[in-house]
Amino acid sequence: MKQAFYEKFGWTEVEVLPQDGTARTYTRVEKGGKHALVMDIPQDENTMLEYLRIGSYLRDNCVRVPEIYELEAHNGFALIEDFGSLPMRIAVQESASAQKEIYQKAFVMLEQLKALSDVPPLCVYESNAVHKGRRRVMEWYLPAAQKRTIGADLVDEYLAIWDGIEKTLPPYKRGFVHGDYHVDNIMVLSDGSLGLIDFQDAMFGSPLYDLGNLLEDMRADVPADIQKIAVDKLTEDERAWMRILTTQFHCRLLGQCLLWPIRQNKPQYMRFLPRLEAYVRDALARDPLLLPLKQFFDDLGLDFTLSNDLNIDEVKGFISDEAF
């Protein structure tokens, strides 16, 4: 069906792009020397409708997102603008001298997202699967690290600790949150400007979530001087909330990097575990705000060094079938 979709409009296939952690796929196509991408979202029609709805909102607010050329929403197909093959991750690797400038542009785009008004209805962060996913460190990572099954009571105790930490701070200012603002979803375009992709899972929450995602990305180390540029502009409460949201994000991904190989046969994501573990070890060691969480993990004997000795086949049996 996908091939029939793009051939109907006179396009021919060039290449199938590598798949990410979702079921979504992209195929680069060509017509008359012009390239485009066929986006295939097989989950359901609602996911495509969210992509269209949020993309239209961002485009109307001058955020550079792909144009839509052709559409079969009911089949999950869209022919969209091709932003090329230079994600931010590659751009900063290829040009160390341009690294700070590119990150500065990413910070500016974050400020643009933060300033968006009349935000359309979006899932609230606290009700989102992303927030629920903070439990994955308990349901996936801990069983793998200690080769034992984990009871629901222990997971509840962990979640209660997070609730207590959050209550020590005043509520954060809410706004548009991309939800996956990282170096592979920020594209460097031919004119040097930045374009944004994979925004269909946007949330209504704290924009600090996106900043933490960028500064402590599982895919890339960000130099301390570049991190300082962004962090120095934050208030004390904003820094505290960014630490909470970012560490929750890491706790989700520590489990998700085991979920992907075990449930979806995508072992390539295990290579990100060492960096994620280092982020969590560092946060627990240096931030007094997280002391209750550090004590909890210390009492469990969890030191976040699983990646030093991990055999995925040995740990599968300790993961509950009900694990989120």
121, with CB counted inside 10 A (0-12, 13-18, 19+), is: exposed
Contact 190, 196 (CB under 8 A): no
Query: Mean pLDDT across the chain, nearest whole number?
Result: 95
pLDDT bracket for residue 23 (50, 70, 90): confident
Which fold, 88-318? Aminoglycoside 3'-phosphotransferase; Chain: A, domain 2 (3.90.1200)
**Helix count (H) and strand count (E) of the chain?**
14, 10
**CA distances to 90, 114, 258, 267, 284 from 84, in Å:** 12, 26, 30, 26, 39
Interatomic CA distance for residues 238 and 234, integer angstroms: 6
Please count the residues of the chain: 324
Q: Retrieve residue 133's tokens.
A: 């996913």
- CATH superfamily of the domain spanning 2-81: Phosphorylase Kinase; domain 1 (3.30.200.20)
| Domain extents in the chain | 2-81, 88-318
pLDDT one-digit tens code per residue, 127-153 = 999 999 999 999 999 999 999 999 999
Residue 212's pLDDT is 98
Section 157-178 average pLDDT: 97
pLDDT over 70, % of the chain: 99
Q: Comparing 2-81 with 88-318, is the CATH topology the same?
A: no
Q: Read out DSSP for 24-61?
A: -EEEEEEETTEEEEEEE--S-HHHHHHHHHHHHHHHHT
Q: Residue 232: pLDDT above 90?
A: yes
Q: In terms of pTM, does the model score above 0.85?
A: yes
pLDDT of 303 strictly over 70: yes
One-letter identity of residue 79:
L
